[in-house]
Amino acid sequence: MANTFLTPEVIAREALVVLENNLVMANLVHRDYADEFARVGDTVTIRRPARFNAKNFTGSIVRQDAAETGVSVKIDRHRDVSFDVSAKEMTLDIRDFSQQLIAPAVRAIAQAVDEDLLNEAANISASVTATEDPADLADIAALSRTLDVAKAPLDMRRLVLHPPDKYRYALTDNLSKVAYAGDGETLRNAQLGRIYSLDTYMDQNCPDSLAAQSGTAAAFQVTGSAGDTTVALSGVDGASATVKKGDGFILDGYRYRFTEDKTASSGAVAAVGIDAELVADYDAATAYPVNKPHSLAFHRNAIALVTRPLALPMGAAKAAIVSHNGLGIRVVYGYDQDTKRDTVSLDVIYGITTLDPSLAVKLVG
């Protein structure tokens, strides 16, 4: 295929297909999309699904407000993947170009979106402690029971499992033996199906520690400046508790991982490295420790993903925006004459909020 046909529109459409196919959480939560352009930092208002109460009829009706209430959401996530390509690479067939360059780039964006959505587990107070070696599905029943008590609607209930959790429950007799499960899909294709009113999915971006042996710090506060990759910890739960390389924490919806082992002294760690720059200044901000695997059960209306299209850059010679099913992606071309290489930039913006924490429960441990 000639280079003249490999336009930003073609790449954007191909990228959007890849993005849709790789998202898990983003396809399960409440989605709000509007076609007005937005910038990072903009605050938009989305509609919270309406709720009603059934009133006793005693001769006259009681009118209820049917208007959906508004919720303000800040569009504060801007995910970008940019890479250089040579003239030879740009003349590849679009299928090869997609497989070799576009698909890996867009998968990285999809993973970031799903990770950000799963980080909302930090805002969910309801929790079930996972059984270390489950022989049955009691843990999943406990998750569903929690949603029942919270009066979550029975439709659109989802359970997103951390991969180890998925296989721990898949190995129970209830699912692995056809005599109990009714079919062999779990054994053959690792499909758990619908369990106790929950449609099950697996997401590799669920919160967890990457350490071989997790640290013991169960709570702490974080101090650091925007852009720092080193933070101080205070109020560590346990005067000499530890954090391990691969452990992490969630702060303002962003997940960070420690890059070194540290042991607290008198409940504090003077400095410890993290794998990404802080997005804001923090002074003893309470963080949510991530040193255990997490899975999440929720109704669709518990969490919202808010997306808006990015405006086309004024100085770009070649650029395109493609949207579909509430998702949008921007593709911009640049060219460096000195190196005779094109730069392809793909980016998205979005915001996330917990609409109703009572409609979700996390599985921890």
Convert the pLDDT of each residue in 166-205 to its tens digit. Answer: 888 887 776 655 444 445 454 444 456 788 889 888 888 9
Given 258, 273, 300, the domain boundary residue is 300
Q: Is residue 213 part of a domain?
A: no
Evaluate whether 237 touches 220 at the Cβ level (below 8 Å).
yes
Residue 2 confidence (pLDDT) above 60 = no
Domain contains 178: yes
pTM, rounded to two decimals: 0.83
Task: Give the model's pLDDT for residue 45.
Answer: 79
How much is the pLDDT for 190?
44
Q: What is the mean pLDDT of residues 202-222?
A: 92
Give how far Cα 49 sits from Cα of 126, 301, 308, Å: 21, 7, 19
Higher pLDDT, 151 or 188: 151
**How confident is the model at residue 142, as a pLDDT?**
94
Q: Domain containing 248: what range? A: 220-290
Q: What is the pLDDT of residues 15-26, one digit of tens each?
A: 777 877 778 888
Mean pLDDT of 268-275: 95
Tell me: do 78 and 91 sit in the same domain: yes
Closest by CA to 255, choosing from 317, 312, 307, 209, is: 209
Q: Is residue 7 domain-shared with residue 99, that is, in the same domain?
A: yes
* Residue that terminates a domain, selected from 255, 290, 325: 290
Please indicate, yes or no, if residue 7 is contained in any of the structural domains: yes
Taking the C-alpha atoms of residue 345 and residue 106, their distance in angstroms, rounded to an integer, is: 11
Average pLDDT on 151-177 reads 83
pLDDT of 183 reads: 52
Written as six digits, the tokens of 361 are 């429960």
Q: Which residue has the higher pLDDT, 164 or 171?
A: 164
Report the range of poorest mean pLDDT among 192-196, 265-269, 342-346.
Answer: 192-196
| Residue at 346 is within a domain | yes
Q: Is residue 128 included in any domain, yes or no?
A: yes
Tell me whether residue 282 is in a domain: yes
Share in percent of the chain as helix, strand, coil (round to 5)? 25, 35, 40
Question: Does residue 116 sit within a domain?
Answer: yes
Report d(CA 326, CA 304) in Å as an integer.
12
Task: For residue 287, give both structure tokens.
Answer: 């963080």
Instruction: Verify that 11 and 116 share a domain, yes or no.
Output: yes
Q: Buried (b) or exposed (e) across 40-55, using 16+ Cβ within 10 A?
A: eeeebebebeeeeeee
Give the chain's domain count. Answer: 3
As a whole number of angstroms, the distance between CA 124 and CA 143 comes to 13
CA–CA separation, 174 and 197 (whole Å) = 15
- Is 361 inside a domain boundary? no
Q: Residue 31 belongs to a domain with what CATH number?
A: 3.30.2400
Check residue 73 and give its pLDDT.
85
